[in-house]
């Protein structure tokens, strides 16, 4: 498959999303904790690197060719005892062949090739630690061959050793100035390191390979965004997404470009499409590495790539085949269930999750997904029990705390709901819905309005285009009985902004409240009268008592104090949508 590229400092995901993101081995610059998870799940690298019976490659060596001495690094020996036999046989044979070549002192070129092939074998199977020294030995033995530097650069992207990538790709360009793949990858790494000017210099020269130009547009769009050239950024990112619509991570910078242009509605619409789909760099070298995979790991990788690209039937097929080879792999079984659900096979997904929980009753993601399904069924007790088990195994599980908090909110246990929603908001900083309902739960639990104001202001500052957050904050600022929570001027500015972006009777009623709080009762009366007429025209007689209460206050030159009545829709929890969490909820255990 093609190489992937994550966004520079891409923000955490939408509501319910955890802090860690799984990605296929082909992706650039993934967090180190993900690499640890891949090692654990695939059982490709154990805790012991070398034993008393360590082989020849675990020691440093100095070899001499034509009077030139070359120092070779030790290549740690991984523990492959838990690896499936086909993969272990492949890696062991390549290591043995390399050791034999070193012992026989074959030609410099052949020894470089042996170390390079060993690095490729480890790299392709996600055994990253020994791959690095193997590549570096090949590089030292054959410094004129750009292949080993290129693969070392790509390895650095995957292990977040970005300075290693910079040095390696620069070496490739010294040897092959026209290597467009190395130039593009180097530019993207430099962007990740905030070295925008260096990246831009590399991108100025057009790319002759038409398959690379869309990714160059993506990179140049990011540069333009950082330089506040919003029109250029939007144009380039739109062009990139037309070529790679599955790269949903690119919707975030596009949304920021629209926001910079003042097109807030477009920004909000685009931001809703932000996800885990990664930028793909068509790259024959990476395709070659993927082709080296053996055994079930290849199917695991294929399934994960298919899931991220939303080819759910392909993910079902790949992971189903992998499960036949490794039926005891519970994380793989959970991923298979997830793909089944997304492919429209919900009964099969339920059976797979039940089997995963039979094998591992405490598995956090299996419990979370089963909790979602039971909440969808309306069995809130069972759903909460599954969320509790997920939290017991993973205390900061943002999704479990979020959905459990909403269940508690529905039951009227507002204090506990606020606690769970607070954990969800802290664990997933972009989960502004969690912060909003934490604030509403605190209001219903009798918490101080000044404390709630601070929470809402934090949420509004983080996502100023979230209309519901803005609405609730404005109402609190305009009508709270607590003078420490009120601020008429701030409420008026927010209400005016809402009316400009989304004119509607509720927002106009809010504007009237803010005007009254600032003492402009005549304007408040004008707007309130218009809102009452609109309510009558829509037949919403149920709204009239509250609207009339405020109208009476304005006629008496008084602000309209007090929050929403019990029947107001603002108190209701959002509708349950489990498609989103099944699709977007990442996991530190990709399979």
Q: What angle do CA 548, 549, 552 make, to 5 degrees?
A: 80
- Per DSSP bridges, beta strands 68-72 and 3-5 are unpaired
pLDDT of residue 138 exceeding 90, the answer is: yes
In CATH, 450-571 is 1.25.40.10 = yes
Q: Is the pLDDT of residue 89 over 80?
A: yes
Q: Do domains 32-159 and 310-447 have the same CATH topology?
A: yes
- Written as one string, the DSSP assignment of 531-561 is HHHHHHHTT-GGGHHHHHHHHHHHHTT----
The per-residue pLDDT for range 376-408, each reduced to its tens digit, is 999 999 999 999 999 999 998 989 999 999 999
Instruction: Note the pLDDT of residue 562.
Output: 84
pLDDT at residue number 296: 64
Is residue 344 exposed (0-12), middle (13-18) or buried (19+ Cβ within 10 Å)? Answer: exposed
What is 230-296 written as a DSSP string?
Answer: HHHHHHHHHHHHHH-TT-GGGHHHHHHHHHHTT-HHHHHHHHTT--SPPEEE--HHHHHHHHT--HH
Query: Between these two residues, 325 and 71, which has the higher pLDDT value?
Result: 71
What are the tens digits of pLDDT across the range 141-191? Answer: 999 999 999 999 999 998 989 999 999 999 999 999 999 999 999 999 999
**Per-residue tokens: 240:** 């990139």
Residues 471 and 570 sit within 8 Å (Cβ to Cβ)? yes
| SS3 at position 178 | coil
pLDDT average, residue stretch 462-473: 87
Residue 14 has pLDDT above 60, yes or no: no
Strand partners, 71: 62
pLDDT of residue 21: 32
pLDDT at 46 over 50: no
Token pair 């996800």: residue: 275
The pLDDT tens digits for 59-69 are: 999 999 999 99
Reported confidence tier of residue 585, pLDDT bands at 50, 70, 90: low
| Mean local confidence (pLDDT), 40-51 | 37
CATH number, span 32-159? 1.25.40.10
588 pLDDT above the threshold of 70: no
pLDDT of residue 458 exceeding 70, the answer is yes
- For residue 260, give every residue at least 6 positions away whose Cβ sits within 8 Å of its Cβ, in sequence order, or none: 225, 228, 230, 233
CB-CB contact of 147 with 169 (8 Å): no
pTM for the full predicted model: 0.60
Cβ-Cβ contacts under 8 Å for 347 (sequence gap 6 or more): none
pLDDT: is 63 or 590 the higher one?
63
- For residue 261, the Cα-to-chain-centroid distance in whole angstroms is 25
DSSP output for 412-460: T-HHHHHHHHHHHHHHSTT-HHHHHHHHHHHHHTT--HHHHHHHHHHHH
Domain ranges of the chain: 32-159, 310-447, 450-571
Other residues' Cβ atoms within 10 Å of the Cβ of residue 48: 11
| Cβ density class 117-135: b for 16+ within 10 Å, e for less | bbbbbbbbbbbbebbbbbb
Whether the per-residue pLDDT at 3 is higher than 70: the answer is: no
Tokens of 468: 């519901």
- Average pLDDT over every residue of 107-122: 95
Nearest in space to 127 (alpha carbons), one of 91, 84, 163, 96: 91
For residue 74, give both structure tokens: 């030790």
Superfamily of segment(s) 310-447: Tetratricopeptide repeat domain (1.25.40.10)
The yes-or-no verdict on residue 42 having pLDDT over 70 is: no
Cα separation, 32 vs 113, whole angstroms? 29
Angle subtended by helix axes 295-308 and 330-342, to nearest 10: 40
């Amino acid at each position: 498959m093609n190489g992937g590229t994550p966004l520079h400092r891409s923000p955490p995901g939408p509501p319910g999303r955890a802090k860690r993101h799984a990605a296929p081995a082909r992706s650039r610059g993934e967090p180190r904790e993900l690499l640890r998870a891949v090692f654990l799940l695939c059982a490709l690298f154990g805790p012991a690197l070398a034993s008393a019976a360590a082989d020849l490659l675990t020691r440093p060596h100095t070899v001499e060719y034509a009077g030139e001495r070359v120092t070779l690094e030790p290549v740690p020996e991984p523990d492959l005892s838990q690896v499936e036999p086909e993969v272990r046989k492949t890696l062991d044979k390549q290591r043995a062949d390399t050791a034999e070549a070193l012992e026989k002192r074959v030609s410099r070129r052949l020894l470089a090739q042996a170390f390079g092939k060993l690095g490729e074998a480890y790299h392709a199977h996600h055994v990253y630690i020994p791959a690095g020294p193997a590549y570096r030995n090949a590089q030292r033995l054959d410094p004129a061959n750009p292949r080993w530097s290129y693969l070392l650069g790509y390895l650095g992207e995957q292990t977040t050793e970005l300075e290693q990538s910079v040095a390696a790709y620069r070496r490739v360009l010294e040897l092959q100035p026209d290597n467009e793949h190395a130039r593009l990858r180097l530019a993207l790494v430099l962007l990740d390191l905030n070295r925008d000017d260096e990246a831009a210099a590399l991108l100025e020269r057009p790319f002759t390979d038409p398959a690379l130009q869309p990714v160059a547009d993506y990179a140049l769009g990011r540069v333009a965004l950082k330089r506040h050239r919003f029109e250029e950024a939007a144009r380039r990112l739109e062009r990139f997404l037309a070529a790679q619509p599955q790269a949903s991570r690119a919707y975030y910078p596009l949304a920021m470009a629209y926001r910079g242009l003042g097109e807030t509605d477009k920004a909000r619409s685009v931001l809703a499409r932000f996800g885990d789909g990664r930028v793909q760099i068509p790259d024959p070298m990476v395709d070659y590495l993927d082709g080296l995979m053996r055994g079930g790991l290849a199917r695991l990788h294929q399934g994960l790539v298919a899931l991220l690209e939303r080819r759910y039937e392909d993910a079902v097929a790949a992971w189903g085949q992998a499960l036949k080879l490794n039926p005891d792999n519970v994380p793989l079984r959970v991923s298979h269930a997830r793909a089944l659900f997304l492919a429209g096979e919900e009964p099969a997904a339920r059976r797979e999750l039940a089997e995963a929980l039979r094998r591992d009753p405490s598995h956090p993601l299996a419990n979370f997904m089963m909790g979602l399904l039971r909440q969808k069924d309306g069995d809130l007790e069972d759903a909460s029990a599954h969320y509790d088990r997920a939290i017991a195994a993973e205390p900061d599980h943002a999704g479990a705390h979020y959905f459990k908090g909403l269940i508690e909110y529905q039951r009227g246990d507002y204090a506990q709901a606020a606690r769970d929603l607070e954990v969800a908001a802290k664990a997933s900083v972009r989960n502004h819905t969690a912060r909003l309902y934490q604030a509403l739960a605190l209001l219903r639990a009798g918490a101080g309005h000044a404390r709630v104001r601070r929470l809402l202001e934090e949420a509004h500052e983080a996502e100023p285009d979230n209309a519901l957050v803005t609405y609730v904050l404005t109402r609190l600022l305009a009508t709270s009985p607590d003078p420490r929570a009120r601020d008429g001027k701030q409420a008026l500015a927010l209400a005016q902004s809402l009316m400009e972006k989304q004119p509607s009777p509720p927002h106009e009623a809010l504007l009237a409240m803010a005007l009254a709080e600032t003492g402009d009762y005549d304007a408040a009366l004008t707007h309130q009268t218009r809102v009452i007429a609109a309510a009558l025209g829509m037949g919403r007689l149920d709204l009239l008592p509250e609207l009339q209460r405020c109208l009476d206050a304005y006629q008496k030159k008084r602000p309209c104090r007090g929050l929403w009545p019990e029947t107001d829709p603002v108190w209701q929890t959002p509708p349950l949508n489990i498609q989103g969490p099944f699709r977007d909820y990442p996991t530190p255990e990709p399979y």
